[in-house]
Amino acid sequence: MEQLSDVQLAFMRALWTRPGSSVTQVRAFLTAEGRKLASTTVSTQLGRLEKKGLVTHEVSGRQFLYRARVSEQQVQRSVLTRVTEGLFGGDVTALVHQLLDHQRVSVAELAEVQRLIEARVAEERQS
């Protein structure tokens, strides 16, 4: 999957949040996020995302209603794989170390990460 810009990710978030949105609805979502874009810009960007195969539309009356063709999880995996491979040479330990050293991580979040690791270890032992 091609790398998405911050603006393109914002468009995708709009469609993940409100599938079947019109240009006006996507624009309103983006405006609420602090991105003020003209309707023509929103329409153009949605068309570009559609050409990339990330978005599709259906016609309802005189409006195009847009939906994401890829899930948020698919995009997250793609970006994370690119970061892990590109910046950390595939070293997951270095990635996690960087996250823990430079992000605020609550005790509850650490406990959840620990639970996920323990579950994965148990899963690998059974394989």
Domain extent listing, the chain: 6-68, 91-127
Q: Tell whether the model's pLDDT for residue 3 goes beyond 90.
A: no
pTM: 0.80
pLDDT at 1 over 80: no
Instruction: Let me know: does 46 contact 11? Beta carbons within 8 Å.
Output: yes
What does the pLDDT read at residue 127? Answer: 85
Q: What is the pLDDT of residue 66?
A: 98
How far apart are the C-alpha atoms of 66 and 47, rounded to whole Å? 10
Question: Which listed CATH number (3.30.70.2860, 1.10.540.10, 3.30.70.1380, 1.10.10.10) goes with 6-68?
Answer: 1.10.10.10
Q: Render pLDDT for 81-109 as a digit per residue (tens, 0 to 9).
A: 999 999 999 999 999 999 999 889 999 99
The Cα 52–Cα 68 span in angstroms is 11
Amino acid found at 108:
A
pLDDT tens, position by position, 22-60: 999 999 999 999 999 999 999 999 999 999 999 999 999
Q: Is the pLDDT at 7 greater than 90, yes or no? A: yes
Residue listed under structure tokens 């609420």:
32
In sequence order, the β-bridge partners of residue 58 are: 65
